[in-house]
């Protein structure tokens, strides 16, 4: 058995001990002993202890359910936090740098060996366009106040990570940890009410304020150092290879709570937050830059001031205050910005650049390249608008709006027209100078909301917005329809309108759709910048299973690269990835390097969702590591792309995709008992009514097809069956091996990053799956006539595990990563009680129809959060 780092094990032990003290102080020795008995029972042989553990939990009184659930949930959160800190803790001089710190310098050395010259390398790195799009996520249920306490605990772990502490200092740190853990324990960890879209946006802003605000300049400082060491070149001051966008407050697809009013409020809050954050920076800089010597260029702006830098920064400070004050006022009333309000990011960047250049000109470069440079990097990356807000809406809503308009005008019903008729009408109206919408047109509520959203887009500064994403896009007219609605509501500037191809059929049709669109001369002439296309991972996997979906995504990207090249149009692919393997999740670095050649050409856009935002960007040091991975992967995929797959690999993937989708749909769509089994064996019904996010669990009434991809996958993850991530692979791979394709599969895994990454992610999720836990849910929750289906699915899970072992030649899943296996084993000690307690709670809840604010329902929600925390990439 591999031992986890001694310091991490000690951190986990100390935090667990302090949590135990806190629990004992509130509930007494007997209750703490009950917690310990449950933990030791779970830690014993899992197979023999299962029934005993379930029996012990089943005997708990109602008033014990919530504190037991909270104890195990809190421990998993503390273990997560300790594990996160382990990634960034101080290393001894003889310890190697982590991969995340080495990845860029090592890549630059390889690129130079491959023949890339210094100047070209620096140019390419400075020109990278990586956009991380922060999205709300209903599985991120932890309250911001608790996240901040966990961050404070991490800070205390860092404080004790010094060998020269006195006994008094060590005791003081221990006391702070004890107090913070007590504060976390006595804080209700789960929201009582569903968050609003504005709440979610504020959560995203908090991640920027508390982590990314520090991480970005630190990251760019190290990028500049690595570049200079390798090439002698410097990263330009205006370079921002990684920027951030957001869907929080803009994603209205299936979420009636996101309205035009909400979008306006979130845009203003972002401007308020940006002004406030920059004010803090400028106040600090004004205090520090007391120097008298300045360049003539700076003197032109401030005259004969004895402290020229302070004089210039105070001018900027006054304008930032005016901007913040205006944004605050505009939240409650429509107030036009006054002359001092900053509206163009150059107004923020220029004074900082002027100070930086003047200090260098006057021989004070060491001062220029301190906090002033950090502020300048933030100004270029975040700017006056903090993040660019994307807007997303379903294509059907646009069709319905245009149908209402055309019917009002006596032109017939737009939705009933064929594609060519729609394109002809849309092109004609886009070119027409007269408005389409009559002055006295009074639309129905849904159309009015679509038009109001478009008006907010037209009224907002262009730099505050990202893209307009069309979910469930399936035709060229879907893009033109949005362009027409934006034109009719007053948008005079260009905006990227982005089709999102989600289902298997839509992915297969993505190339023809874009071919039709780019064949329109007027459309191509109106393009400003690259053509952005979004590839959906969640819904395609829900529709067809991950085998067929992954291959369809790959082929769609290849097709889009070829078509855009034919039309001499640059392409920006937007990857709609989630946290789980079933939603395209997995290690970002490997995922980027596995994309088709030519698809990552210096540009990359991807979603970062919910709890994964916290795990990847919640602490500045960890954020830096992940920013390094993104930057290095996109640079490598651009300059050292993988080879295209061999014809034999394509043929086998075609066959496996066909086998995989049939096997997946035979269960999910064709088995008559599947829907009922899913609803009985998982918390799917409860997820829809618990306050887990601002968005409803369903797009509309109906069965599996109507369920959003997140609760679909989240439900299976809670029971550890993990079905959406692997179902179909067992048949696809077994059929290939049975056909004698073992050597070819081995070659694909060795030489093709796409296939290797898919198998690696499949192996990871199978290692986290647990048939024994899934069976425990069945035994407690599922009616007898459905039990054979559960047994069949667990048999398919076993087949999937075995075929991966056959393919990798291992005896145990993840045998090549014993530390990961040990982490999973340790977490199971705390996850097993939560799983079995959740099954008990579900049974009691369904029997009693408990109220949402009852202790039983609160305990259920805590188990959901705890399991999510323990498994991490859950939704």
Q: Which residues are catalytic?
A: 137, 542
Q: What share of the chain is helix, strand, coil (3-state, %, to 5)?
A: 65, 5, 25
| Beta strand ranges found along 81-143 (DSSP E) | 129-135
User: Rounded CA gap, 778 and 794, in Å?
Assistant: 11
| 330 CB-side CA count, 13 A | 22
3-state secondary structure of 501: strand
Greatest CA separation for the chain: 89
| 197 CB-side CA count, 13 A | 27
User: Rounded CA gap, 862 and 71, in Å?
Assistant: 10
Centroid of chain to Cα 784: 39
Q: Could you tell me the two tokens for 19?
A: 């949590």
User: Rounded CA gap, 791 and 814, in Å?
Assistant: 25
- Cα–Cα distances in angstroms (integers) from residue 249 to residues 196, 265, 272, 673, in the given order: 9, 8, 15, 38
Phi, psi of 746 (to 5 degrees): -65, -40
Q: Could you tell me the two tokens for 781?
A: 């929750």
Cβ neighbors of 18 (< 8 A, separation 6 or more) are 177, 178, 181
User: Rounded CA gap, 459 and 491, in Å?
Assistant: 8
- Cα–Cα distances in angstroms (integers) from residue 241 to residues 36, 303, 589, 623, 813, in the given order: 49, 36, 16, 15, 37
Cβ neighbors of 694 (< 8 A, separation 6 or more) are 136, 194, 195, 196, 197, 199, 200, 255, 257, 258
Helix H or strand E segment including 185: helix 167-185
Per-residue buried b or exposed e for 486-518, using 16+ beta carbons within 10 Å of the residue's own CB: bbbbebeeebbbbbbbbbbebbebbbebbbbbb
- Cα–Cα distances in angstroms (integers) from residue 693 to residues 688, 696, 712, 873, in the given order: 10, 8, 15, 17
Cβ neighbors of 597 (< 8 A, separation 6 or more) are 641, 642, 643, 644
- Which residues sit opposite 575 in a β-bridge? 535, 606
- Cα–Cα distances in angstroms (integers) from residue 623 to residues 247, 658, 870, in the given order: 20, 39, 20
Helix H or strand E segment including 80: helix 62-88
Q: Could you tell me the two tokens for 253?
A: 């697809």
Q: Could you tell me the two tokens for 682?
A: 């998982």
User: Rounded CA gap, 349 and 274, in Å?
Assistant: 13
For 35-50, the DSSP string reads HHHHHHHHHS-HHHHH
User: Rounded CA gap, 721 and 702, in Å?
Assistant: 23
3-state secondary structure of 867: helix
For 435-449, the DSSP string reads -SS-TT----HHHHH
Closest CA to 761 of 609, 618, 603, 577: 577
- Cα–Cα distances in angstroms (integers) from residue 231 to residues 48, 130, 282, 737, in the given order: 60, 22, 33, 48
Closest CA to 138 of 200, 72, 205, 206: 200
How many beta carbons lie within 10 A of that of residue 462, not counting itself?
A: 14
Phi, psi of 101 (to 5 degrees): -85, -30
């Amino acid at each position: 058995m591999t031992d986890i780092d001694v310091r991490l094990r000690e951190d986990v032990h100390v935090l667990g001990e302090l949590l135990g003290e806190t629990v004992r102080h509130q509930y007494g020795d007997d209750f703490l002993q009950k917690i310990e008995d449950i933990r030791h029972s779970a830690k014993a042989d899992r197979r023999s202890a299962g029934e005993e553990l379930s029996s012990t939990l089943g005997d708990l009184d109602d008033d014990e359910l919530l504190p037991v659930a909270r104890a195990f949930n809190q421990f998993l959160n503390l273990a997560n936090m300790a594990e996160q800190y382990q990634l960034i803790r101080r290393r001894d001089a003889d310890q190697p740098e982590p991969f995340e710190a080495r990845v860029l310098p090592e890549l630059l050395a390889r690129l130079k060996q491959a023949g890339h010259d210094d100047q070209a390398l620096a140019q390419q790195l400075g020109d990278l366009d990586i956009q991380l799009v922060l999205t709300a996520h209903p599985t991120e249920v932890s309250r911001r106040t608790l996240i901040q306490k966990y961050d404070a605990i991490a800070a205390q772990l860092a404080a004790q990570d010094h060998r020269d502490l006195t006994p008094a200092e060590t005791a003081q740190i221990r006391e702070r940890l004890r107090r913070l853990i007590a504060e976390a324990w006595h804080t209700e960890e789960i929201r009582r009410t569903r968050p609003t879209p504005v709440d979610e946006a504020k959560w995203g802003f908090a991640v920027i304020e508390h982590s990314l605000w520090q991480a970005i300049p630190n990251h760019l400082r190290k990028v500049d150092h690595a570049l200079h060491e390798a090439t002698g070149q410097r990263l330009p001051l205006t370079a921002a290879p990684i920027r951030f966008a957001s869907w929080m407050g803009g994603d209205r697809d299936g979420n009636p709570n996101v309205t035009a009013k909400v979008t306006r409020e979130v845009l203003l809050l972002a401007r308020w937050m940006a002004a406030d954050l920059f004010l803090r920076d400028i106040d600090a800089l004004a205090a520090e830059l007391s120097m008298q010597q300045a360049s003539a260029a700076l003197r032109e702006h401030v005259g004969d001031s004895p402290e020229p830098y302070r004089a210039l920064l105070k001018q900027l400070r006054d304008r930032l205050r005016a901007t913040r004050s205006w944004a605050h006022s505009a939240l409650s009333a429509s107030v036009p910005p006054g002359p001092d309000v900053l509206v163009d990011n150059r107004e923020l960047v220029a004074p900082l650049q002027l100070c930086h250049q003047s200090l260098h000109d006057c021989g004070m470069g060491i001062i220029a390249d301190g906090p002033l440079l950090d502020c300048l990097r933030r100004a270029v990356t975040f700017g006056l608008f903090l993040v660019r807000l994307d807007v997303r809406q379903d294509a059907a809503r646009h069709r319905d709006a245009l149908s209402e308009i055309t019917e009002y005008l006596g032109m017939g019903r737009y939705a009933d027209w064929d594609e060519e008729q729609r394109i002809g009408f849309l092109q004609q109206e886009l070119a027409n100078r007269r408005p389409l919408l009559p002055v006295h047109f009074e639309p129905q509520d849904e159309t009015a909301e679509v038009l109001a959203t478009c008006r907010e887009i037209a009224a907002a500064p262009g730099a505050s917005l990202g893209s307009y994403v069309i979910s469930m896009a399936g035709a060229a007219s879907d893009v033109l329809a949005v362009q027409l609605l934006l034109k009719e509501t007053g948008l005079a500037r260009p905006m990227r309108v982005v089709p999102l191809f989600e289902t298997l059929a839509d992915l297969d049709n993505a190339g023809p759709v874009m071919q039709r669109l780019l064949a329109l001369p007027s459309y191509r002439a109106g393009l400003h910048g690259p053509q952005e296309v979004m590839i959906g991972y969640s819904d395609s996997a829900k529709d067809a299973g991950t085998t067929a979906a992954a291959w369809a995504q790959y082929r769609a990207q290849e097709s889009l690269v070829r078509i855009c090249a034919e039309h001499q149009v640059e392409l920006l692919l937007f990857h709609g990835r989630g946290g789980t393997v079933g939603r395209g999740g997995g290690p970002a670095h490997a995922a980027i390097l596995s994309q088709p050649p030519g698809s990552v050409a210096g540009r990359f856009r991807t979603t970062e969702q919910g709890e994964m935002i916290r795990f990847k960007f919640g602490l500045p040091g960890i954020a830096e590591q992940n920013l390094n991975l993104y930057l290095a992967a996109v640079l490598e995929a651009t300059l050292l792309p993988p080879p295209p797959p061999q014809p034999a690999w394509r043929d086998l993937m075609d066959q496996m995709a066909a086998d995989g989708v049939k096997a997946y749909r035979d269960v999910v769509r064709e088995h008559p008992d599947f829907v009922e089994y899913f609803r009985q064996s998982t918390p799917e019904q409860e997820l829809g009514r618990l306050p887990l996010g601002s968005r409803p669990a369903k797009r509309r009434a109906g069965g599996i097809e109507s369920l959003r991809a997140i609760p679909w996958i989240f439900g299976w993850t809670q029971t550890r069956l993990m079905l959406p991530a692997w179902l179909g692979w067992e048949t696809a791979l077994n059929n290939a091996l049975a056909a004698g394709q073992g050597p070819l599969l081995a070659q694909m895994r060795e030489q093709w990053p796409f296939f290797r990454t898919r198998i690696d992610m499949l192996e990871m999720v199978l290692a986290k799956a647990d048939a024994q836990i899934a069976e425990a849910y069945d035994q407690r929750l599922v009616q007898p006539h459905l039990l054979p289906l559960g047994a069949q699915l667990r048999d398919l899970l076993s087949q999937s595990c075995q075929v991966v072992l056959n393919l990798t030649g291992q005896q145990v899943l993840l045998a090549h990563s014993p530390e990961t296996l040990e982490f999973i084993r340790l977490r199971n000690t705390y996850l097993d009680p939560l799983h079995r307690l959740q099954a008990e709670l579900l049974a009691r809840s369904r029997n009693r129809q408990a109220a949402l604010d009852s202790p039983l329902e609160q305990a259920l929600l805590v188990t959901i959060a705890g399991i999510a925390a323990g498994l991490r990439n859950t939704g």
